[in-house]
Amino acid sequence: MIIEFLGTGGAITIPRPLCNCHVCSEARDKGVPYSRMGPSIFVHGPNLLIDTPEDIYHQINRSTINEINGIIYSHWHPDHVMGRRIIESLSADWINDPPQHKKIDIYLPDQVDKDFKTFLGSGDHLNFFEYQGFADLKRLKDGESFTLNGTKISPFRLAEDYVYALILESENKKVLIAMDELNNWKPYEEVIDLDLAILPVGIFEFHPLTGERLMPEDHPVFKEEATFTETLEIVKILNAKKVLLTHIEEPNGLSFHDFKELEVKLQDSGINVEFAHDTQIIKV
């Protein structure tokens, strides 16, 4: 398997529109790896696209992707689904009559399918694509896996149980990909000692280099989101051979340079993690 990070930002990407802070200004001036588009990952081998943020068109156009055999959604949040019109662009034939549409498989874990019927019109939109002949919707019951090009993909619910992470298994390699929402999650035996774990970085309550408090202690977000400190505790339990952290938000106020410095600090303390960046490619 080869993992390609299409976008490593979160709900608020970098640079944030109209923001002139040093992180956004630097990202606007230098581009990748300082800039970060919305959260999306592509897995070469199964040729699986995970989530479609608003800027997925640009991400795919700058990627090394040659073919997409399936798309899966981790949860309903806007930053993960609002680029779903890419399905039409990938599949629709507007030249021939009758049209020779391609058809892409869209995998919907059980709660994602239910939430898509309620939030953001995602369910209606995907049903329309299926009606038009652009997609086949594959609804997955909890505990159900599927296989693409010899890779087994197993979605499972996190503690925030509207969100799914994935276990991918191929050629004696095992990878965990969690796109978002690690709050209160306790890893179980089957996800320990994997070859690669990809996790969201979490909320920075404190500046990881200076110790300065960045957010009020009683901020309500801490009831819903894992902190960076809590993410590191999960990393220790997972004991994966390699760990990459993604879903890096602009409000954290940390630059690409800060994250490179933090990598060294963590590795010196025995925590072997890297912070992913847009267009990064990892071979498992």
pLDDT in tens, the chain (284 residues): 999 999 999 999 999 999 999 999 999 999 999 999 999 999 999 999 999 999 999 999 999 999 999 999 999 999 999 999 999 999 999 999 999 999 999 999 999 999 999 999 999 999 999 999 999 999 999 999 999 999 999 999 999 999 999 999 999 999 999 999 999 999 999 899 999 999 999 999 999 999 999 899 999 998 889 999 999 999 999 999 999 999 999 988 899 999 999 999 999 999 999 999 999 999 99
Structural domains in the chain, CATH included, are 2-283 (3.60.15.10)
Residue with tokens 């390609």: 4
CA dist list (Å): 250 to 15, 132, 189, 240, 255:
7, 38, 34, 27, 9
The set of residues, in sequence order, having a beta carbon less than 8 Å from that of 25 and lying 6+ positions away, is 15
For residues 138 and 153, the answer to whether their CB atoms sit within 8 Å is: no
The answer to pTM > 0.85 is yes
Residue (of 147, 144, 145, 142) closest to 163 by Cα position: 142
The burial class, CB within 10 Å (0-12 / 13-18 / 19+), for 112 is buried
Distance of CA 162 to the CA centre of its chain: 15
The burial class, CB within 10 Å (0-12 / 13-18 / 19+), for 280 is middle
